[in-house]
Amino acid sequence: MLPLPFNAVDESGGKPQSESKTPYAGSAAVTAKNRPPSLVTGVIGWSVSLIFVLLFTASFFLYWSLTRAFELGDNEVLLERIQVLRPLIRDLEVNRGLVKREIETESQAIESPQVYLRILDKGKTILETHGMAAHLPVNVFPGVVPGTQPSRGVRLEVSPGRVFRVMAKTANGSGADEHYVIQAALDLTQDEKVLNHFRYRLFKALTVVCLFSVLVGYLITKRAMRPIEEMSEYIGRIEDSTVGQLIPLPELPAEVAGLANSIKDILDRRVQDCLSLLSRFSADVVHEVRTPLTNLRSATEIALSKPRTAAEYRKLLASNLEEFESLSAIIHKLLALALAERAQAAIDLEEFDIVSELRSVVYSYNRSAIHNDISIALASHETLTVQLDRVLFRHAVSNLVSNAVANTPAGGSVTLTATEQGSTVCVKVSDTGVGIAPEHLPHIFDRFYRVPRKDGRAAEGLGLGLSIVKAIMDLHGGSAAIVSDPGHGTSVTLFFRQITKP
């Protein structure tokens, strides 16, 4: 609730304007807790992550291709050795010497990798490469299913650092009941060394590339963001004496130039509008305050120029009191507007009958209306319970009624109505006054805006009443709309959104 006597209203002749909407002018301070993440950090993070994923995928595919090539080559070697032995085993008694020589040749081979061969007859070893039993017992080989001929060997690690690829196939002898098993193994020690060395080099390359990507991404991003940083630094150096200067726009990349230009135009326009508003505010306040102060000083100087009677001093004090009341009204209006427009202002919600409150407003202005030969009436009589800030609501409606009475000629009327449309409560204040020309409607809720009189003189008052109304509606999340027909009257409607008390 605003700690102000909200009986000061605007006499500006506030008139119709369509729905009022004013951009929020406040801004929250950026602290360490709510500071947004750095764009540079985000770009670098996403870039490095993408590069790492791509490189890891490519490296994995390359490593898989290499291991696959080794596997295919190893299988071909084993199949080739087995295919050499199978025709010889078909007549083993005759070719026994050739078979033995073929197997022993493998043990004497100096090239790497070494191939081990073994021939089994009903599970017993007939011939084998020298030293094969020490590393590769019979039972470590995969079993052979009759009628199948595997084409791929099995990787087998018999001891730490000693890996083989093994394969077993059947071979028929000369007799119908002669069946042999050929076991072949290829030493993969050299292959494992190559793959381990490749993995180590690949990991080093990935690490170096990622670190290099971070550095390059940082430098590129910083260079791209430098023009924006320069503009931010310039804005940060703006002082009171230079606030009116336009913000210079450095050369920017095409991707952000359009956005930067839009932001610059908005800032320049808003700064100039604020400066213009501040200038008008200062001039209006000086003008409004200067008149009562001048009257006070003049009356006091005249009173002190020569001795006066008690009645004359009493008359002087009464005149000064009127001027003090005028100054007080000006100050109250400015304070009311400042408090109502504060975005953080809390509203004191309470449940009340809006029709009863409007009836009270009508009663408050009834004497003034009768004095000016104006009829004022409430057209709604059914109870309409709302949950709003009662003091702010009364102040907004009082401002509208005051303007309606002030701008309605003798014999006219002022009517108040309240209706409910879904979750919205509509309060309308209509009069049969002088109305307002359409060109003034877009500015009617602006601060200090006063519609000129027909004789060209400025209207009385500060032009703050409707600005206060708009600020109160913003606090309630509502809006105000105004319609006017010059010479026939004005209607102002307040749309209050029903607020649930927390």
Binned at pLDDT 50, 70 and 90, residue 394 comes out as: confident
Distance of alpha carbon 405 from alpha carbon 428, whole angstroms: 14
Q: What is the pLDDT of residue 417?
A: 95
Distance of alpha carbon 147 from alpha carbon 162, whole angstroms: 31
Binned at pLDDT 50, 70 and 90, residue 220 comes out as: confident
Q: What is the pLDDT of residue 26?
A: 38
pLDDT digits (tens, 9 = 90+) for 59-106: 888 888 888 888 888 888 888 888 888 888 888 777 888 888 888 775
Residue 365 has pLDDT above 80, yes or no: yes
CB atoms within 10 A of CB 443: 14
Residue 429 has pLDDT above 90, yes or no: yes
- Asked if 436 and 12 touch (Cβ cutoff 8 Å), the reply is no
- E strand or H helix that includes residue 480: strand 479-485
Q: What is the pLDDT of residue 30?
A: 43
375-378 and 349-353: which strand pairing? unpaired
**Segment 411-435 mean pLDDT:** 91
Phi and psi at residue 141, to the nearest 5°? -80, 150
Residue 379 has pLDDT above 50, yes or no: yes
* Structural domains of the chain, ranges and CATH numbers in brackets: 44-196 (3.30.450), 246-339 (1.10.287.130), 345-497 (3.30.565.10)
- E strand or H helix that includes residue 421: strand 413-421
Q: Which residues contact 472 (CB under 8 A, 6 or more apart)?
A: 340, 392, 393, 395, 396
The label of the residue with tokens 């009341």 reads 325
Identity at 262, one-letter amino acid code: S
CB atoms within 10 A of CB 367: 10
Q: What is the pLDDT of residue 3?
A: 38
Binned at pLDDT 50, 70 and 90, residue 268 comes out as: confident
- Asked if 164 and 187 touch (Cβ cutoff 8 Å), the reply is yes
Structure tokens at 66: 């290499």
CA 404: distance to chain centroid? 44
The more confident residue out of 229 and 481 is: 481
The label of the residue with tokens 């209706």 reads 419
Q: Which residues contact 324 (CB under 8 A, 6 or more apart)?
A: 292, 296
Share of the chain above pLDDT 70, in %: 74
The more confident residue out of 327 and 248 is: 327
Identity at 36, one-letter amino acid code: P
Residue 491 has pLDDT above 90, yes or no: yes
Residue 189 has pLDDT above 90, yes or no: no
**Mean pLDDT lowest for which of 124-128, 331-335, 433-437?**
331-335
Distance of alpha carbon 351 from alpha carbon 107, whole angstroms: 102
Nearest to 260 by CA among 269, 244, 248: 248
Residue 10 has pLDDT above 50, yes or no: no
